[in-house]
Structures are given as structure tokens and as C-alpha cells.
Structure 1
Amino acid sequence: MEAVLFDLDGTLIDSAPQLVGALNQLRQQYDLPPIPFLVGRPYASHGAAGLLKAGFNMDKNDPLFDARVQEFLDIYKEVFNLNMQCMLGIEELINTLNLRKISWGIMTNKAKKFAQPIVSSHPLLKSAACLIAGDDVSVPKPSPEGLIKASQMLSIEPSDIIYLGDDRRDVMAANDAGMVSMAARYGYLEVGDDAKSWGAQYIIDKPSELLDYLNL
């Protein structure tokens, strides 16, 4: 393998505190009690739509959905990059990839206005060779478009790239792009969701297991 691409939320960074916190601020505005963090955490990989489903039982068919999304984003933009931490074990993984001169980058469905500041300001993540955000492509994951674009930016064939993510959509995108698909079971999996059913070529329970796969 010549490169590794990562999903962002729940794979590289632990963004659930900011996302669930913003959701609970919005619930407070509607005189609703906060949802427990561990209840909201699994929805952190599903963006605003998933969080509104968890916090308001609201989906895109609700006539108030778009307005509620904007309300959520207005809160989130004030907190999204506060005290941002990487997932446990990611620092060792990235430092080893850098040391061994293995290219790595990020492909996320997160909007660039959020993803770019997080990556640029984080001392570990700013060494990423590429960042493809959700609005850098015409179709988000599970479409392989973003991964193919990333492989072109790296000038590395998809078959020589691992894509690691914590959601079924990540695995689908990797498989369709012709990459080695790897599921991060340490991420934001919903209760009862079995990563073994996603069709990933490999499943890891902690970031260091990726290094084992690379024999590093």
C-alpha cells in the first residue's frame, strides 16, 4: 500500500462532544431536556440530518427540516473547533505514517467550512497530503467520487490506497473506488450495527491495527 485515506468524524477526530453539544443547545431553545451524550454519539457520523433525527425525530420530509438544520449549524459553527481532539491512538498512527513517508489524506462528507479549519489548525492533521470535503464533489459518499478525486490528487492508483472509515457509506465508497476498504469499529457505530455486514475487506478495533496491516 502506498497511501491511506481517512474519514474525518469518528475516524480521525472525536467531534461528538461538539456535535451533541450543539444539538442539546438547540433542544434547550425548544425547552427540551438534553439527550444523553452516549445516545447522541452514534449519530455524529451522520451529519446534521442524523443528529436532528436523534434530537427531534425529524427527517428531510418534515416541512421544518431545512430551517432546523440552519438553526443547528448556526450553533455548531460557534463550537465546532473548540478543544478538538483526535480519536485515541490516531496520534501514534499519523506520526508513524509520516515517519515512514507514507502519504495520507482525508475524504469526508463534512462541509469544507468546517473540515478545513479543523484540519488546518490541528498540529497533527495539518500535514495531510489532501483534504476532500463534502462540497468538493457533486455527490457525497457512498459515491466514490471523492475518493477517486483524492487518488488523483495523490497521483496514486486506487488499488494502492486504504480507505478507513467508521460508517457503511465509507466502505461502499471505498469498494466502488477500487480501494482497500477498512472499517473502524472504534468509531461512532450505532447500537446493534455490525460492521461485519458492511462488506469491508478489513475491520479494525483500534488505529494501531492499521499499522499491523502495513507491517509498520
Structure 2
Amino acid sequence: MSIERDLEGWTIAFDLDGTLVDSAPDLIGTLNRMLAQYELPPVPMSSARHLVGHGAMALLRHGFMEAGAAWDEAHAPGLFERFIEDYLAHIADESTVFDGVVPALERLAARGAILCVATNKRTDLSVALIEALDLTKHFAFIAGPDAVSARKPSGTHIHEAVQKAGGDPARCVMVGDSTTDTKAAKDAGVPCIVVGFGYNDVPRSELGGDVVIDHYDGFEAALAEVMP
């Protein structure tokens, strides 16, 4: 039985870390290797997981703060570059695609949707992670903040990612795990589906999305709910 291509003309834009991929283990692993260079104690996953979506700088500051030491480039010159180099070398050692993601992406494509990624993770790192996890074939475009003119929470990030994927920003749904994503969706004037298992310490009732899912099994029902 053929699948109706009822999503022709629609684009689904996904955040990456905490939405498609559980990347916290490798990012925090890199953070702890950086701390070890300065004989500082490692940070537990539980204390840093919510910072994953905020980038390497936030992770480094948190790690040094936990150890009672302030971090800036003057204190540890070159550390940010070493962080990125180490992370690239270990980008998918323990990172995994969230359960149900691949079947959901395959089903959306079969229904005619264009799929893209709109993430605040640097594009080269995003592409490397997506390639390492064999997800590249699912996406028409991968847009880190350096591939567009503004980063989330600006809605421009979503609009330009969708356009570069060959889609229409007026017919788009955003999928994310944080207030950065929901604010960007609101700014872009598009619906937002929130995954409730991502990297955020804000109560789910305060995330601001249109609907929250706890597993990708419920994605298509949520999509039907938010689409006009």
C-alpha cells in the first residue's frame, strides 16, 4: 500500500543536540578531558547535561566553575580550540540517535516532506556528527549558525535553513527541545513540536511549544495537531 504524499510542500526543521541525537556523553567527555589537563575534577553528566545546547563556551565555564576556578582565554589560552579538536575526534564515541528518530524521518520523507536541520551547533561539527551517525541522507540542508545570517532564537535561522533546503518558510514546522527552539519558532511564525527528553532545565509546561512528545512514535500525531 502506497503512502499518501500529503506533506508535499512542507518542510520540517529539526534542532540537533537533544532533539535528534543524545550527544551529551561525548560533549561532556571532551569537557572532562579538558579539565583533566588542568588537574581539575570531572563534572557529572547530571550537572552539565542541560548546558549541552548552549555550546562549548558554556560547558567550559561550567566545568571550571564547578571546580572553583574561573575560566577565560587568558586563564587557559587555546582551550576552546583544543576542546573542538578533541570533540571532533570523539564526536560519536557514545552519542546515539534518539529512539524512533530514523523511522519518523523515513515516514516523513515518504509523505513528501522536506527535512532540514536548524541548530546552533557549528555547521562543521553538525555535519560531522550527522555523518558519523548515518543520518546525512535524510536532510536536504544542515544549517548551523554560521550557514545563516542569525542564530536561534532568531526566526531568521529557521527561515533561511528552510529556504536553503528548497522549502517554503511559510509552510514549515520546527522541532526542538529548548526555549531557544520555541522562541525561534515563535519569531519565525511557525508551529513548534517539543521533545520532552532533551537538554533543558525549564519545566515542560514553560517551554512554550505547541505540543510536547515523549517519543518519536508520537511525532506524526503531534504534527497533525500543529499543522493548519
What is residue 186 of structure 1 aligned with on the other side?
197
Q: d(CA) in 2 for partners of 1:113 and 1:84? A: 17
What is residue 26 of structure 1 aligned with on the other side?
34
Sort the Cα spacing of 1:194 and 1:65 in 2 relative to 1 into closer, same or farther, 3 A: farther
In structure 1, the residue corresponding to 2:53 is in which secondary structure?
Answer: helix
Cα pair 2:196 2:213 within 8 Å, conserved: yes
Task: Give ranges in structure 2 of 5+ residues lacking alignment.
Answer: 1-6
Q: d(CA) in 2 for partners of 1:163 and 1:64? A: 39
Moved over 6 A (4+): 58-62
Cα pair 2:26 2:87 within 8 Å, conserved: yes
The alignment-based identity, stated in percent, is 30
Q: Describe the superposition over 1:28-86 as per-residue Cα deviations: whole angstroms up to 9, x where unpaired.
A: 11112221122222221111122123211288877547743223223212211335421
Q: Indicate which of 3, 6, 12 corresponds to 2:14.
A: 6
Q: 1:87 Cα shift?
A: 1.2
1:88 aligns with 2:99: yes
Q: Which amino acid aligns with 1:210?
A: F
Q: Which amino acid aligns with 1:17?
A: P
Q: d(CA) in 1 for partners of 2:223 and 2:181? A: 20
Paired residues in the alignment total: 214
Instruction: Output the TM-score relative to the length of structure 2.
Output: 0.83
What is residue 160 of structure 1 aligned with on the other side?
171
Q: Indicate which of 48, 65, 74 corresponds to 2:56.
A: 48
What is residue 210 of structure 1 aligned with on the other side?
219
Instruction: Output the TM-score relative to the length of structure 1.
Output: 0.87
In structure 2, the residue corresponding to 1:214 is in which secondary structure?
Answer: helix
Q: Describe the superposition over 1:153-190 as per-residue Cα deviations: whole angstroms up to 9, x where unpaired.
A: 34433342110111111111111111112222111122
Mark the structure with the bigger radius of gyration. 2
Q: d(CA) in 1 for partners of 2:35 and 2:17? A: 22
In structure 1, the residue corresponding to 2:162 is in which secondary structure?
Answer: helix
What is residue 37 of structure 1 aligned with on the other side?
45
Q: d(CA) in 2 for partners of 1:123 and 1:76? A: 18
Q: d(CA) in 2 for partners of 1:65 and 1:171? A: 34
